[in-house]
Each structure stands twice: as structure tokens, then as C-alpha cells.
Amino acid sequence: MNPRADVRLPDANDVTAAATRLAGVAVRTPLLHSPWLDARLNGRVFLKAEIFQRTGSFKFRGAWNRLVQLDAAARARGVVAFSSGNHAQGVAEAARLLGMAATIVMPADAPAIKIENTRALGATVVLYDRLRERREEIAARLADEHGATLVPAFDDPHIIAGQGTAGHEIAEDLAALALTPDLAIICAGGGGLTAGCALALKSRFPTVDVYTAEPTGLDDHRRSFAAGARVSNDAASQSICDALLAPAPGELTFAITRELCAGGYAVSDAEVAATMRLAFARLKLVLEPGGAVALAALLHRVGDLAGQCAVVTLSGGNIDAAMFAACITDPDWPGSAPAAGAVK
């Protein structure tokens, strides 16, 4: 059921149309296969490496699909967005390519590399205190002042369709290998990537089970699926996964995922850190915490695939050098973490 009568929910055809708009602009990221993971998990494992996308995460996909459809007058007035970093960089890059002004509202405690990269792409960054201020209110005020278009991070049909092009590519690549996935695990903050990928994957492979992956304590999608309605996270919940701190599933994204997803997984920060170390040591990949949650769920929640074929998203690789160094050199990093029961 669509919770917003004024907005049409996107479908698989919208994802296909977005793929056409992104062709030749976005990177068609590789679907990596690791024989080592196959052996460890007793199945076939494929990794959608969005760490190689423009700006280091999948977020450019939705940003481009949203901005490229603005008319000349809207482009002249620019765009405003709010983000902890990856959506910020995606919007900044899309705006740069289109010759538009972009203002991004970012938390002052966002990873320095994300703030620096957003500014380097030409965007104006407005910092706020996430404990005392509401980014939505700041962004809305700035958009009103300049007549700019507000670009949501996930709860927008064009954003959802754009993010879904990652799933569209997964489906094409697996079909070319004559493979049908049994399981797909997608990282979830607000749910834009999960919703878009679920549309693309379920359209091509109706039997695939799609799951969200989230940090323990911030697993609002998993709990919302169980409740049958959107539930919010405790505002005091913390995680090293800065990219996945949305307060609740989006209205539009949840309207899609509640119909198409089989459930959700939650993983602890300690399990995420262990996955980041494994990805670096065994797969030679650099993942940010939020970009590692889907692989962490596969490793720590699924475990034995029993011959099945699984695909997971590696959704981002934007991490400060000092944080990454601490992660890969200190087996106890990030210190005390919330316990993660075997939830599903």
C-alpha cells in the first residue's frame, strides 16, 4: 500500500529507465566472485562492489537519476541535500557534472574524509550538531531561501529507481552466467538501495529471497518487518556504521520492501569490524563499516549456504585512513560493542 497518494511508487520499469539514464555516466561496477568465500560458506557468493562507483558508494546512482531529470529552471536554482556523507558526495558529484550548485547539510561529526570529499566536489557544506539540531529543518530552510530542489537521501521514487540500477546490473550479470540467486542481502539505512534492488531482482528472479542488513540496535527494517509497520530506532543507539543511521525506514521504501523482502539481519559493530578485516586480508578490498554489513550478515548470520547462490552489496568504501588502520591492526577495535543475537 502506497502511504503517499501524491507520489507513485517506482517499479521495475522505472529502474530500467534509470539504468538508461546512468549508462555511460555511472560506473558499471563489477560483480566479484571469490572461490575462497564459496569454500568457506559452502555455496556460490557474488559481491556487488559499489566501492568502485563514482564517489565510492552506490549513492551517485540515485543522485544522478534525480538531478538529470530536473528542468533548466530548477537546475539554475541548484539543489540542497542532507547526509552523513555518501549521499552528500553523490549529490555533489551529480551536481558538478551537470553544472549545478549544491548545498549539503552534514553532521559535524561525520567522517572527515566524507566532508572533505564533498567540498572537493564543489558543494557548499553546512555543518550541524546531530544531537541538538534537525538536519531536515535546516535543509528545508536553505531550500526555501534559494528556491532550490531538496534531494532526499532515500524516500524519493527517482532516488529509489536510481539506486535500484545496482540490482539491475546484478540481475543482468547473474543471468549472463545462467545463475539464479537464492539469497540477496542488501545494506539498509533508509532503504533506498534495498527497495530499488528488490524491484530489479524480484522482477528478474521471482524466487530470490531479499534481506536487509543493519547494525544491531539500528535494525529498524528488521523490526518493522516483524511488526508489519514502520518502527523507529532509539535515538541513543550508536554504531560505527555512520552511513546507516537513519531514524526509521522511509515511507516509500518500506511500502516496497515490506512486500518484496523476506526479512532482515542485524550484526554487531564487532562483527562488522571483523568483516572489514577479512575483506582486506582475503579479498583485498577496503570497506567502510556501513559498506560491510551485508557481507557481515552473510558470514555471521547465514553461515552455511548449503549449495545456494548468494549475492551481497558492498555498498561503500569511504573511511578515514586512521579509522581503517585501527580496524585492520587492532583485533579488539572498535572496543565494546552491543551483543548481536542470532536475529533474522
Domain 60-154 falls under CATH 3.40.50.1100:
yes
105-163 pLDDT, tens digit per residue, is: 998 988 888 899 999 999 999 999 988 888 889 999 999 998 999 999 999 999 999 99
Q: Which three cell numbers stand for residue 253?
A: 521504501
pTM score, whole prediction? 0.93
In the predicted model, what is the mean pLDDT of the chain?
94
Nearest to 113 by CA among 132, 93, 96, 89: 89
Longest Cα pair distance anywhere in the chain, in angstroms? 57
What pLDDT does residue 337 have? 42
Cα 232 to Cα 247: distance, rounded to the nearest angstrom: 6
Cα 38 to Cα 25: distance, rounded to the nearest angstrom: 32
Average pLDDT estimate for 206-214? 98
Instruction: Report which of residues 160 and 337 the model is more confident about.
Output: 160
Instruction: Report which of residues 230 and 7 the model is more confident about.
Output: 230
Ordered strands of the 79-82 beta sheet: 124-128, 102-107, 79-82, 149-150
Cα 245 to Cα 239: distance, rounded to the nearest angstrom: 8
What pLDDT does residue 84 have? 79
Q: Which three cell numbers stand for residue 284?
A: 583485498
Decide: 312 and 48 in contact? Cβ < 8 Å: yes
Does 342 score more than 80 pLDDT? no
What pLDDT does residue 326 have? 96
Average pLDDT estimate for 191-206? 98
Nearest to 241 by CA among 217, 207, 265: 217
What pLDDT does residue 231 have? 95
Percent of the chain at pLDDT exceeding 70: 97
What pLDDT does residue 339 have? 34
Amino acid at 127: L
- SS3 letters for 271-320? HHHHHHHHHHHHHCCCCCHHHHHHHHHHHHHHCCCCCCEEEEEECECCCC
Least confident of 154-168, 223-237, 324-338: 324-338
Amino acid at 278: L
Q: Which helix (H) or strand (E) holds 209?
A: strand 209-215
Nearest to 14 by CA among 156, 131, 158, 135: 158
What pLDDT does residue 336 have? 53
Give the model's confidence band at 1: pLDDT under 50 very low, under 70 low, under 90 confident, else very high.
low
Domain 12-58+158-329 falls under CATH 3.40.50.1100:
yes
Does 261 score more than 80 pLDDT? yes
320-329 pLDDT, tens digit per residue, is: 999 999 999 9
31-81 pLDDT, tens digit per residue, is: 999 999 999 999 999 999 999 999 999 999 999 999 999 999 999 999 999
Domain(s) labelled CATH 3.40.50.1100 in the chain stretch across 12-58+158-329, 60-154
Contacts of 314 (CB under 8 A, 6+ apart): 47, 48, 49, 50, 51, 279, 285, 287, 291, 292, 294, 295
Cα 47 to Cα 328: distance, rounded to the nearest angstrom: 20
Give the model's confidence band at 257: pLDDT under 50 very low, under 70 low, under 90 confident, else very high.
very high
Does 22 score more than 50 pLDDT? yes
Task: Give Cα separations from 145 to 73, 153, 327 (angstroms).
Answer: 16, 20, 42
Give the model's confidence band at 343: pLDDT under 50 very low, under 70 low, under 90 confident, else very high.
very low
